[in-house]
Amino acid sequence: MPEFCAAYSCSNRRTVESKARGITFHKFPRKDMRKKWERALRRKDFTATNTTVLCSEHFKPEDFDRTGQIVRLRDGVIPSIFSFPVKPQKVSASKVTPRFPSPQPLGSAPPEEFLGVLRSASSRMDMMCGINRARLGPTGAIRAGPTRYR
Ligand SMILES: [Zn+2]
């Protein structure tokens, strides 16, 4: 059964990969301590169950007892490391995988924006040629400047 971390904006779950990264999952304690954990999570209307877990990323290194075979939390520790929306940039940069717009189907016609760019590029070219023609046109000499005739 997959186990997901209950912390806000944390997507860790118990997988081979998370295990390789050294992430451990810890069930909520009972009674008063469970209330303290729930409050620490700051999730609205959140109630932990007997299967709710938090991953080890929300605890300080000194919160763990790593002396035994299994990494366990010391008695009385409260999760203290969370990414609340105060720093959304940091969270999205490290947690969110880049999402690309849905790919164009293969063999489809070039997208309309692309044709539009081509069209506007060629019309801009015409405009520039027109300007050049006006400058260098047959009347160019006369336009050299009115000062000459004073
Ligand atoms: Zn977590």
Strands 64-65 and 72-73: antiparallel
- Using a 10 angstrom Cβ sphere, with 0-12 exposed, 13-18 middle and 19 or more buried, the burial of residue 123 is exposed
114: CA distance to ligand 1 center in Å? 44
19: CA distance to ligand 1 center in Å? 13
**Length of the chain in terms of residues written:** 150
123: CA distance to ligand 1 center in Å? 56
Distance in angstroms (rounded) separating the CA atoms of residues 54 and 128: 65
7: CA distance to ligand 1 center in Å? 5
63 pLDDT band (50/70/90 cuts)?
very high
**Helices then strands (H, E): number in the chain?**
4, 4
Q: What percent of the chain has pLDDT over 90?
A: 51
- Enter the pTM of the model: 0.55
Domains of the chain, by residue range, sit at: 16-86, 110-137
Distance in angstroms (rounded) separating the CA atoms of residues 47 and 27: 13
Mean pLDDT, the chain, as a whole number?
A: 78
Amino acid at 7: A
Summarised one tens digit per residue, pLDDT across range 98-147 is: 566 666 566 666 566 666 666 666 666 666 656 555 555 555 555 555 55
11: CA distance to ligand 1 center in Å? 6
